[in-house]
Amino acid sequence: MGFFDKIKAGLTKTREALSNTLGAVFTGFSQLDDDFYDELEESLILADLGVETATKATDRLRKAVREQHIKEPEEAKAALKEILVQMLQVGDLELKLQTKPSVILVIGVNGVGKTTTIGKIATQQVRQGKKVLLVAGDTFRAAAADQLEIWAGRSGADIVRQHEGADPASVVYDGIQAARARDVDVIIIDTAGRLHNKANLMNELNKISRIVERELPAASKEVLLVLDGTTGQNGLIQAKTFKEIAGVTAIALTKLDGTAKGGIVIAVSDALQIPVKFVGVGEQADDLMPFEPKEFVEALI
Ligand SMILES: Nc1nc2c(ncn2[C@@H]2O[C@H](COP(=O)(O)OP(=O)(O)O)[C@@H](O)[C@H]2O)c(=O)[nH]1
Ligand SMILES: [Mg+2]
Ligand 1 atom closest to the CA of 226, numbered from 1: 20
Q: What is the mean pLDDT of residues 68-93?
A: 94
In total, the chain counts a number of residues equal to: 301
Give the pLDDT confidence of 199-224 residue by residue, as tens digits.
Answer: 888 889 999 999 999 999 999 999 99
Compute the distance from residue 301 Cα to the ligand 2 centre, in Å.
33
In whole angstroms, give the CA distance from residue 215 to residue 180.
Answer: 10
Cα-to-centroid distance, 114 and ligand 1 (Å): 7
The values of phi and psi at residue 282, to 5°, are: 160, 180
pLDDT(6) > 90: no
The Cα–Cα gap between 212 and 218 comes to 10
pLDDT at 193: 83
Which one, of 244, 249, 174, lies nearest residue 202 by Cα? 244
End-to-end CA distance of the chain: 19
* Closest ligand 1 atom, residue 110 Cα: 19
Strands 186-191 and 221-228 turn out to be unpaired
Pocket of ligand 1 (CB under 6 A): 108, 110-116, 254-255, 257-258, 280-283, 287
Q: Give per-residue pLDDT as tens, 220-243.
A: 999 999 999 998 888 888 898 899
* Average pLDDT rounded to a whole number, residues 35-47: 92
pLDDT of residue 37 exceeding 70, the answer is yes
Would the pLDDT of 196 be above 80?
A: no
* Per-residue model confidence (pLDDT) at position 34: 94
Closest ligand to C-alpha of residue 282 is 1
Atom of ligand 1 nearest to the CA of 108: 20
27-59 CB burial, b ≥16 within 10 A, e <16 = eebeebeeebbebbbebbbbbbbbeebbebbbe
Q: How confident is the model at residue 20 (pLDDT cuts 50, 70, 90)?
A: low
pLDDT tens digit string along 95-120? 999 999 999 999 999 999 999 999 99
pLDDT, average across residues 17-40: 82
Give the CA distances from residue 71 to residues 34, 40, 68, 76, in Å, rounded to whole numbers and listed in that order: 14, 16, 9, 8
Indicate the range of 127-136, 141-150, 196-205 predicted with least confidence. 196-205
Nearest CA to ligand 1 atom 4: 283
User: What pLDDT is recorded for position 16?
Assistant: 64
Atom number, ligand 1, closest to the C-alpha of residue 147 = 16
Residues 6+ apart with CB under 8 A from 287: 6, 120, 257, 280, 281
Cα of 98 vs centre of ligand 2, distance in Å, is: 26
Whether 14 has a pLDDT exceeding 60, the answer reads no
Predicted local distance difference test score (pLDDT) of residue 92? 92
Residue 147 CA, ligand 2 centroid: distance in Å:
7
Residue 17 has pLDDT above 60, yes or no: no
pTM for the model stands at: 0.92
Q: What is the mean pLDDT of residues 273-281?
A: 94
Q: So what's the pLDDT on residue 258?
A: 77
Pocket test for ligand 1, best of 106, 110, 112, 116 (most atoms within 8 A of CB): 116
Q: In this model, does residue 68 exceed pLDDT 90?
A: yes
Give the C-alpha separation, 144 to 138, whole Å: 6
| d(C-alpha 38, C-alpha 265), whole Å | 22
Confidence class for position 144, pLDDT limits 50, 70, 90: very high
pLDDT higher than threshold 90 for residue 260 = no
Give the whole-angstrom CA distance, residue 137 versus residue 16: 40
Please report the pLDDT score of residue 21 as a whole number.
Answer: 67
